[in-house]
Structure 1
Amino acid sequence: MSSFDPRTHLPDDLLERVRSRAAAHDQENSFPDADLADLQAAGYLSILVPGELGGAGLSLAEASALQQRLAGAAPATALAINMHLVWTGVAKVLADRGIDDLRFVQEGAVAGEVFAFGISEAGNDLVLFGSDTDATPRPDGSYAFTGTKIFTSLAPVWTQLGLHGLDTTSADAPQMVYAFIPRSDAVRVRDDWDTLGMRGTQSRTTELHAAVAPADRVVRRIAAGPNPDPLVFGIFSVFEILLASVYTGIARRALELAVTTAHHRRSKKSGKTYASDPDIRWRVADMALAYDALPPQIEALARDVDGIADHGGQWFALLSGLKHRAVTTAKQVVDDAMLVAGGSSYFSSSELSRLYRDVLAGRFHPSDPESAHATVAGAWLGPVEP
């Protein structure tokens, strides 16, 4: 990444426009349409598409660095765009391994399609390994999906929804079916996104009423349960790395704000700025020590995905561990930044107040703390004795 300049894809002026709108979208609970338009115009939605198809041809490691930068300006915008980038990232992971099944995603991203991520379902802790959405096969090879997806980011604007469902009627059932459906009358999006933070993502609930994925958009039929299929690996790896990137970007911004505030606040007792206070210096140093560990970890694991490294049975533990560390560290850094900034950060007009609410969302994304610990324990200790 030595020759990679993030300002080429996220220029400073674009970033500042995004930053200037973030507070209003949080207050209004609105989707950042202008951010999306600016990012599309800059070619940002096709950064992971190879150059020969019209994209920027960036690596996952480079896209991760960009998402950290974007999240520092507007976490909700970065998290929303993440879900589109996940699918273009999965397409890249597959293509790098000689599998061209998601070429249409790459071509679509260049053409202006916005892809959303329709995997989450209420109460489904199987996540990629099971689904409560019914996938009904049709004679022409297409599938009709009926069910409810939650946390569907980009809800007001997506044009294609990548999702999964369970086929329980075919001769080889049960089979997990992964496919893409276009926006249609069979898809109903509830206007129900009224949350504590990450409000600009507009990750609304999506109802599917026999929504049809054409035969050429049905990309996988695989056995339910844990599966080594490259598509499953692609989804999990890109999702976890880009999520870790967003929350790492929040941590960086909180650290920057804490430093700025420490230099501006002045103690009545000593007459010096808080940047000279030993307790504040220790706290800021502790924040920096925690933050500094995250970007190298993300880059290293992203490079391993890009380079087709073989971590065998440790892959899922490494990926879930990375995401878990990023979100828990980010929350601690934001907590400490609030203490450095003092009571002013408690007002809703404070950027730190918004970061404090936004960072809380991290623990609700897969892998949650329980799942991450179970995955890592299984990788190191093996299965629980019967």
Structure 2
Amino acid sequence: MSTQLHELLPDDLLERFRDRAKGYDERNEFFHEDLVELKAQGYLRMFAAESDGGLGFGLEAAAAAQRRLATAAPATALAINMHLVWTGVAHLLHERGDNSLRYVLEEAVAGEVFAFGNSEAGNDSVLFDSNTVAAPLSDGSYSFTGTKIFTSLSPAWTRLGIFGKDETGEAPVLVHAFITRETPGYSIKDDWNTLGMRASQSCTTVLEGATAPADRVFRKLPVGPNADPLIFSIFACFETLLAAVYTGLGERALAIGVQTVHKRRSKKTGKSYAQDPDIRWRIADAALAMDGLYPQLESVARDVDQLVNHGSQWFPKMVGLKIRATETARTVVDLMIRVSGGNSYFAGNELGRLYRDVLAGMFHPSDDESAHSTIANAWLGPVED
């Protein structure tokens, strides 16, 4: 896998991404050049089978690629995640005998860019309820009205996955569908001016009667938790690939810290800061934390690929991985800031940018509270009424 990853993301390509990341961040600009190069490498079709024009990756290989990409450009990797979530979901469903989203892989191979338009302000039920209204039409299509936040890839997507709630029947159902860039009835706000992950351009999308045709309405599910393979696949791809991005971010921060302390010299001793016992402790602390994260990421992704049955422990494993990755990366970046000196506080410093980027990890689902609730329920059962 290592050789394949270095062919897909060679060192010179990563250096170009790293050089551009600074400018994208300063200008609050989308990563257009990065996207062109990733497309040329076949990166956006990694989940499609080689016989279909893809790279034949499973989730473990995709996570390894995202980890490597994030060492150069975390915001680029984070946004690309949203495309990979949908193509990954299509792949996981196919591996489990469900070809309902085969067209997602076919269209990804053809060059289409998928984005994830599910997040809603104030919706802490995430995939188990929606504030968006899904209105059924006579031909089987659905009209969607609502507001989606954190829509990464806003300047570039050509296919947007959305969902909303249809309350016209005996029981409400959650309707999942895709619209295209050409679909009328939506608008994208120019409102992405954030502390970090700026190049992702995850703008707000307002649906104002955007209609998904019947052949792109791919699931109708009951409100609330359910065992549909779609839900498992979305969680598996979303949480694992998020963890991969923040693992790569932490990996890069540690590398910068090591380089920096070798360069800095003490006025008192004349030695490099790499010889200072307190700094050595902090570097070791960060390395210990990262060393525990790599195998967890690989293990969870591999188990998904191999269809391992963890039963009721699957969701705790996935949300636990996401929380550990984002929190570990945040701790590691903080430690590296402490050992690197005041230069990291200046605008344009890579470590300072990583410090801002890593904070986004706490806002992605599942958040800390939700993850702890999921894990507690798995081990202790639900809270009694």
TM-score (norm 1): 0.98
Q: What is aligned with 2:72?
A: 73
Q: Deviation of residue 5 (structure 1)?
A: 2.8
The answer to whether the 8 Å contact 1:116/1:158 transfers is: yes
Q: Deviation of residue 176 (structure 1)?
A: 0.7
Distance 1:233 1:367 in 2: 14
Q: What is aligned with 2:43?
A: 44
Q: What is aligned with 1:351?
A: 350
Q: Pick from 173, 192, 206 the counterpart of residue 175 of structure 1.
A: 173
The superposition leaves residues 81-101 of structure 1 with CA deviations (integer Å, 9 ceiling, x where unpaired) of: 000000010011100001001
1:178-217 alignment runs, 5 A limit: 178-183=176-181, 184-217=183-216
The answer to whether the 8 Å contact 1:137/1:170 transfers is: no
Q: What is aligned with 1:269?
A: 268
> Which shifted more, 3-12 or 362-371?
3-12
The superposition leaves residues 94-147 of structure 1 with CA deviations (integer Å, 9 ceiling, x where unpaired) of: 000010011111011111100000110000000000000111111111111111
- The residue identity in structure 2 corresponding to 1:123 is G
Q: What is aligned with 2:229?
A: 230
- The residue identity in structure 1 corresponding to 2:38 is L
Percent identity, aligned pairs only, is: 62
The answer to whether the 8 Å contact 2:152/2:203 transfers is: yes
Q: Secondary structure at the match of 1:73?
A: coil
Q: What is aligned with 2:94?
A: 95
Coordinate RMSD, CA, aligned: 0.9
- The residue identity in structure 1 corresponding to 2:176 is Y
Distance 1:321 1:174 in 2: 31
The answer to whether the 8 Å contact 1:247/1:330 transfers is: yes
Distance 1:242 1:266 in 2: 38
The answer to whether the 8 Å contact 1:4/1:62 transfers is: no
Q: Deviation of residue 4 (structure 1)?
A: 5.1
- The residue identity in structure 2 corresponding to 1:53 is D
- The residue identity in structure 1 corresponding to 2:180 is P
The superposition leaves residues 56-76 of structure 1 with CA deviations (integer Å, 9 ceiling, x where unpaired) of: 001110110110111110110
- The residue identity in structure 2 corresponding to 1:62 is A
- The residue identity in structure 2 corresponding to 1:126 is S
Q: What is aligned with 1:338?
A: 337
Distance 1:201 1:259 in 2: 28
Q: What is aligned with 2:21?
A: 22
The answer to whether the 8 Å contact 2:240/2:318 transfers is: yes
Q: What is aligned with 1:131?
A: 130
The superposition leaves residues 335-364 of structure 1 with CA deviations (integer Å, 9 ceiling, x where unpaired) of: 000011011111112100000000000000
Gap change, CA 1:210 and 1:310, over 3 Å in 2 = same
Q: What is aligned with 1:165?
A: 164
Distance 1:47 1:340 in 2: 38
Q: Is 1:145 equivalent to 2:132 in the alignment?
A: no
1:223-372 alignment runs, 5 A limit: 223-372=222-371
Q: Deviation of residue 185 (structure 1)?
A: 3.0
- The residue identity in structure 1 corresponding to 2:39 is Q
The answer to whether the 8 Å contact 2:282/2:335 transfers is: yes
Distance 1:143 1:253 in 2: 44
Distance 2:110 2:72 in 1: 26
Q: Deviation of residue 16 (structure 1)?
A: 1.3
Q: Secondary structure at the match of 1:293?
A: helix
The answer to whether the 8 Å contact 2:184/2:211 transfers is: no
Distance 2:54 2:145 in 1: 34
The superposition leaves residues 324-344 of structure 1 with CA deviations (integer Å, 9 ceiling, x where unpaired) of: 000000000000000110111
- The residue identity in structure 1 corresponding to 2:265 is R
Distance 1:194 1:103 in 2: 35
The superposition leaves residues 25-57 of structure 1 with CA deviations (integer Å, 9 ceiling, x where unpaired) of: 000000010000000011000111111211000
Q: Secondary structure at the match of 1:5?
A: helix
Q: Deviation of residue 269 (structure 1)?
A: 0.6
- The residue identity in structure 2 corresponding to 1:177 is V
Q: What is aligned with 2:81?
A: 82
Unaligned runs of 5+ in 2: none
TM-score (norm 2): 0.98
The superposition leaves residues 275-309 of structure 1 with CA deviations (integer Å, 9 ceiling, x where unpaired) of: 11111111101100001111110110001110111
Q: Secondary structure at the match of 2:71?
A: helix
- The residue identity in structure 2 corresponding to 1:65 is A
Distance 2:188 2:336 in 1: 37
Distance 2:314 2:3 in 1: 27
Q: What is aligned with 1:13?
A: 12
The answer to whether the 8 Å contact 1:186/1:209 transfers is: yes
* Aligned structure 1 segments of 4 or more residues deviating by more than 2 angstroms: none
The answer to whether the 8 Å contact 2:26/2:348 transfers is: no
- The residue identity in structure 2 corresponding to 1:29 is N
- The residue identity in structure 2 corresponding to 1:174 is P
- The residue identity in structure 2 corresponding to 1:8 is E
Unaligned runs of 5+ in 1: none
The answer to whether the 8 Å contact 1:266/1:273 transfers is: yes
Q: Secondary structure at the match of 2:68?
A: helix
- The residue identity in structure 2 corresponding to 1:349 is G
The answer to whether the 8 Å contact 1:61/1:302 transfers is: yes
- The residue identity in structure 2 corresponding to 1:179 is A
The answer to whether the 8 Å contact 2:114/2:157 transfers is: yes
Q: What is aligned with 1:120?
A: 119
Q: Secondary structure at the match of 1:304?
A: helix
- The residue identity in structure 2 corresponding to 1:182 is T
